[in-house]
Amino acid sequence: MAGLFLACIFGLAVPRPGVAQVSYVARFALEKPAFLQGEPIFCQFTIRNTGTQVFAFSYRTPSRALNPELEAEPRFSVRDLKGRALPDPAPKPCGGAKGTTVYGSVTLPPGQIHTERWLLNQWARFSKPGRYRARAERRLPLLAFNTSTQRFSDRPAAYALAVNELSLEVVPSTPEQLQNAFRPYQKVLEKPAGANAAEALLVLATLPQPFALERLSGLARAPAGERGLDRQQALQGLARLGTPEAWAAILSIARGIDGAAAASKTPAQPEEDSLRAYALLLLGEKGDVAFVPPLLAMLPTASESLRGEILRTLGLFHDPRANQVLFEKLHSPVTTDRVNSILGLRNLGSKEVIPALIAMLDDPGAQVRQVGNFALQGLTRERISLPPNASPAAAAQAAEQWHAWWRDHGASFTPAPQPACRDW
C-alpha cells in the first residue's frame, strides 16, 4: 500500500503484467498574473510524458460540459480574498440540457507535452476588479500501451492528477483596452477554420461585447458552406449580450429570416429547424412578452416540428395570449399539436391547467394520454401511474384517480416552484 501511495504522488502507475509503466507531470497554470476587467481569463492545463512509454487519453475542444460526472472534465472554483465564492454562470436552461460532449483520442509519446487552454470565465463571473484565488482540479484517465497485445489498455492504467491553487488579479479596464483585448479573436473569426476559431467563438459567446454583435449574428446565420462552428453557441453569445439588437437578431433567426432562404422566399431547410428551435428556447427563457405576438404569427405556417417548439415555448411566457392558444390547441385534430400544447401548459406551472390536463386523459390518442399524465405528475409530484400504450379503459381509471385527488387537494394545492431559467 505504501508503494502505491508514493506512486500516486509522483505521477507513476504501478504496472500490470504486459502493461508499460506510465509516468507524467500534470498541472494547471494561469497564463498571466493580472487581467483586465471583462477580458478572457485562460487557465492552461499541461501534461508531459516523463516516462519511457507512450500513453493515450481522451481529448476534446476545451469548453465547459454541463455534466459534472464526465470523468475527464476539469473542475474550477474561484473565491475572493474573503473566501466568498464567485457566482457560477453555468446555464440552467428551462428546456433541459442540450447537446453532447464528443471526445477524440490523444497519443503522447515520451518527452512530449499536451496543452489545453480552459476559459475560466465559464466557471466564475468576475463582476468587479479585485484579487481572487482559483482552485483547478482534474483526474484524467490514461491508457497505457500493452506490449503483449500491441494495443492500448481498455481500462486506465493511471489517472493524471492535477490540483493547483492559483492567484490572480482583475484590474479596471477602458472600452478601448477591451476592444484591443478582443481584436485577435474577432480577426480569427473573419475566416473561421480550425481549433483557433472554436476558441475564438467560445470567447465571444462567453464574454460578448457590444462591438461583437455583428460578428456573433453573422456566425449564427452562417450559410451551409461556412458552418464549421457551433451556431447555437453564437446564439448563446447574443443572448448573453442581451441588447435589444441582439434579441432582435435571435428573433429573426427563430422566424426564419435568414439570408438566402428569406430572399428566395423558399421554406427553411429541415436542418435549419434545430437552430430555429434553439432560438425559440432562448426567447422563452428570456420571457419578454413582446416576443409573444411574432411567435403566435409563426404558428399557422410553421412546420410540424417547429410548431411543436413554439407551443412548448409559449408556456414559458406566462402571458394570457399565449395561454389561450395553448388551451385552444388541446382540441387540435393534429396529435402532435395536442401533445405539445400539454407540454406548453406544463411549462406554465400553474394549478389552473390541472383540470384541462386531467381531461386529456380521455383523448383518443395513447401518446396524448401518456404525456397528459406525465405533465400532471410533474406539476403535482403525485405518482398516479399510466403505463405506455395503456388502453382507454386504463386511462379512464387513471383519470378517475386524478379527479379524486383534485377534489381532495385542489383548494389548497400549490404547484412546486419551477426551476429558474437562465438569467439572460
Q: What is the Cα 56 distance to its own chain's centre?
A: 28
End-of-domain residue from the set 252, 286, 320: 286
In the chain, % of residues over pLDDT 90: 72
Helix (H) or strand (E) holding 152: strand 151-152
Range of the domain at 313: 287-424
Phi and psi torsions of 356, nearest 5°: -65, -35
**What is the Cα gyration radius of the chain?**
26
198 shares its domain with 72: no
101 shares its domain with 164: yes
Confidence (pLDDT) at 191: 82
Confidence (pLDDT) at 371: 96
Confidence (pLDDT) at 270: 59
The model's pTM: 0.85
C-alpha cell at 20: 508499460
Confidence (pLDDT) at 239: 96
C-alpha cell at 378: 410533474
Alpha helices in 228-291 (DSSP H): 231-241, 244-255, 260-263, 272-286
Q: In the chain, which residues have pLDDT < 50?
A: 1-10, 12-19, 96-97, 259-268
332 shares its domain with 232: no
Tell me how far apart the alpha carbons of residues 163 and 354 are, in angstroms, rounded to a whole number: 50
301 shares its domain with 380: yes
End-of-domain residue from the set 286, 318, 333: 286
Confidence (pLDDT) at 99: 52
Confidence (pLDDT) at 206: 96
Residue 421: give its domain's CATH number.
1.25.10.10
154 shares its domain with 18: yes
Confidence (pLDDT) at 225: 52
Confidence (pLDDT) at 100: 64
11 shares its domain with 156: yes
Paired with 42 in beta bridges are 119
Residues 27/49, Cβ–Cβ less than 8 Å: no
185 shares its domain with 206: yes
Model confidence over 339-375: pLDDT tens digits?
999 999 999 999 999 999 999 999 999 999 999 999 9
Residues 233/201, Cβ–Cβ less than 8 Å: yes
Helix (H, G, I), strand (E, B) or coil at 410: coil
Tell me how far apart the alpha carbons of residues 370 and 388 are, in angstroms, rounded to a whole number: 6
Confidence (pLDDT) at 419: 66
105 shares its domain with 189: no
Residue 149: give its domain's CATH number.
2.60.40.2970
274 shares its domain with 167: no
178 shares its domain with 251: yes
Model confidence over 269-316: pLDDT tens digits?
656 888 999 999 999 999 999 999 999 999 999 999 999 999 999 999
Burial of 96 (0-12, 13-18, 19+ CB in 10 A): exposed
C-alpha cell at 181: 483585448
End-of-domain residue from the set 133, 153, 171: 171
Report the domain count for the chain: 3
Helix (H) or strand (E) holding 402: helix 392-409
156 shares its domain with 183: no
279 shares its domain with 292: no
Confidence (pLDDT) at 9: 36
Confidence (pLDDT) at 94: 66
Confidence (pLDDT) at 21: 75
